[in-house]
Amino acid sequence: MKQFKLIFILAALMGLGACQSKVEYGDATEVETVNENFGSSDLQAIAAKMVDSMLVYPPVAAMTANSRPIIFVDRVKNKTSEHIDTESVTDSISNKLLRSGRFRFIDMTKVDTVRKQLDYQNNAGMVDPSTAIKFGRQIGAQYMLYGNLSSIVKQDGSTKDVYYKMTMRLMDLETGLIEWSDEKEIRKMKSKSFLGL
């Protein structure tokens, strides 16, 4: 009986050892192909393509040659059937554009927070009026950058095809004219083997 218990305990410990997982750091820029869903490689490719395209477009290059226009980036709209963190896509594009040194930004996601802080400074009676930031002195954006991420998914038997398209536009807020537009396409295919692996 004792031998049976010992064998059972050893088998259980070996089974637990076989189930242990290992976590390692990887290269964040390395191509990721875990599955056909939208992933980090797609986000990086889209952000790089959009920023590079916009910066070299002749009218945009001309408008940024002697000044840094003020823009705000509207959150990319997700028109796919997947849950995609489009805020990350928007942030990556904004960061790349800001780091180019050719634009200045207004962060529209923080307008309510700024309004509360200005209200506190000017109306709570707790801030020295000579140091309080006054209402109505912020600079307005000249341009709005916005975009959509859409997808088409097709499946035939063991093959699944996913097509992504990111479209972005830069609008002059004074005239309503579109100053730049481009799109990036990504296609992924997944085929199951005979054994379904």
| pLDDT tens per residue, range 76-86 | 998 988 888 88
Q: Please report whether residue 6 resides in a domain.
A: no
CATH number for the domain that contains residue 160: 3.40.50
Burial letters for 53-71: b for 16+ Cβ neighbours within 10 Å, e otherwise? bbbebeebeebbeeeebeb
What pairs with residue 153 in β-bridges?
Answer: 162
What range defines the domain where residue 155 resides? 39-106+141-191
Q: What's the CA gap between 192 and 197, in Å, rounded?
A: 6
Percent of the chain with pLDDT strictly greater than 90: 41
List Cα–Cα distances, 91 to 86, 135, 153, in angstroms.
8, 27, 26
Q: Select from 70, 50, 82 the least CA-distant residue to 146.
A: 50
Tokens 């309503």 correspond to: 176
Q: Please report whether residue 176 resides in a domain.
A: yes
Encoded amino acid at 168, one letter: M
Q: Rg of the chain's alpha carbons, rounded to an integer?
A: 26
Give 53 or 108, the one with higher predicted confidence. 53
- Write out the DSSP string of 5-38: HHHHHHHHHHHHHHT--------TTS---SSSS-
Average pLDDT over residues 4-28: 63
Other CB atoms within 10 Å distance of the CB of residue 134: 10
The pLDDT, as a whole number, for residue 108 is 85
Q: Please report whether residue 21 resides in a domain.
A: no
Q: Please report whether residue 22 resides in a domain.
A: no
Q: Please report whether residue 89 resides in a domain.
A: yes
Average pLDDT over residues 179-185: 94
Q: Please report whether residue 62 resides in a domain.
A: yes
Tokens 């140091």 correspond to: 131
pTM for the full predicted model? 0.74
Q: Please report whether residue 151 resides in a domain.
A: yes
Query: What SS3 class is residue 58?
Result: helix
Q: Please report whether residue 115 resides in a domain.
A: no
Q: How many domains does the chain have?
A: 1
